[in-house]
Amino acid sequence: MPELPEVETIVRGLRLRVLDRTFIDVWTDFPKMIKKPSDFKKFKNGIIGKKIESVRRRAKNILISLSGGKVLLIHQKLTGHLLFGKWKKIDNKWYPLGKGPLSDPTNRFIHLMFGLDKNMLALSDLRKFAKIELWDKKELENSEGFKKLGPEPLDKSFVLEKFKNVLNNKKGKIKQVLMDPNVIAGIGNIYSDEILFKAKVHPLKNVFKLKEDEVERIYKAMKDILPKAIKLGGESFSDFRKVDGSKGSFDKERKIYRKEGENCPRCGNVIKRIKIGGRSAHFCPSCQKL
């Protein structure tokens, strides 16, 4: 699933390409993807003619602010990624015009296409789990789901003391707490593993048992790894691609995630994988002692 760095990569890519563009058409072969309004015709009518005023991220949500006080919310979920370019439709399938990264087979699962007054914006999603919603801006800001979201880990205001306060009185394993969007927004499976490895903290360690220096190491690792992943365009070992269809480059920096059975890059011991709440956690039992 695209996490904070991947979503931020998409947002930054869109800002360079779609600001001040106007929606002129919308197509889908999977209307169930549209959650709000659930009627595709109403969604289409609410989009056409609207100009894109800004693009930002909140947690793993892409928020495209439109003229008329509307916000297009896109959550890419497990295998979704937004693409920008030009396509032609043949027998209800979309094919990119010209050669380039948009022709990567991972980008062929297009189930939503926005026609803009210049070029097109597509959503490729193999599993078709992505969520699309059209909101009134004030309604979204006051929605329960958004109010519950935790702080953004890369905001300047998210200082060490704030991180400590966020963890205060929290129960559960540190891996699960880092992945809870109502505690900290945007960190998922990949980066929680990478952060805890860099911090030398076992993923099963209970938050209330963390020592002060461990909390500081987790915080510093978070502030180091997430910006680096954004700079490298995210992780593309699976389905994620950037808006131009190309791969991100964080894979060369990935130290632990999905490396079960390989040697730890720090101490040489074998990397292990365990399940925590139905999710995988990768760690070095030597470097990250419980």
Kindly give, in sequence order, each residue whose CB lies less than 8 Å from that of residue 229, ignoring residues fewer than 6 positions away: 5, 191, 235, 248, 250, 253
Say how far apart CA 189 and CA 17 lie, in whole Å. 29
Say how far apart CA 179 and CA 60 lie, in whole Å. 12
Is 2 marked active-site?
A: yes
Helix segments in 16-143, DSSP class H:
40-47, 137-141
Retrieve residue 18's tokens.
């779609």
Say how far apart CA 275 and CA 262 lie, in whole Å. 18
Which phi-psi region, left, alpha or beta, contains residue 53 (left: φ > 0; alpha: ψ -120 to 50)? alpha
Among residues 58, 60, 70, 254, the one annotated as catalytic is 60
Nearest to 14 by CA among 76, 83, 91, 116: 83
Nearest to 18 by CA among 75, 76, 85: 85
Is 60 marked active-site?
A: yes
Among residues 2, 5, 96, 203, the one annotated as catalytic is 2
Retrieve residue 176's tokens.
């699960």
Say how far apart CA 277 and CA 179 lie, in whole Å. 11
Is 89 marked active-site?
A: no
Is 57 marked active-site?
A: no
Nearest to 253 by CA among 233, 229, 277, 274: 229
Rg (CA), the chain: 20
Look at the block and give the residue holding tokens 């995210």: 234
Among residues 3, 6, 8, 235, the one annotated as catalytic is 3
* Cβ–Cβ < 8 Å for 277, 207: no
The enclosing H or E element of 62 equals: strand 61-66
As annotated, the active-site residues are 2-3, 60, 279
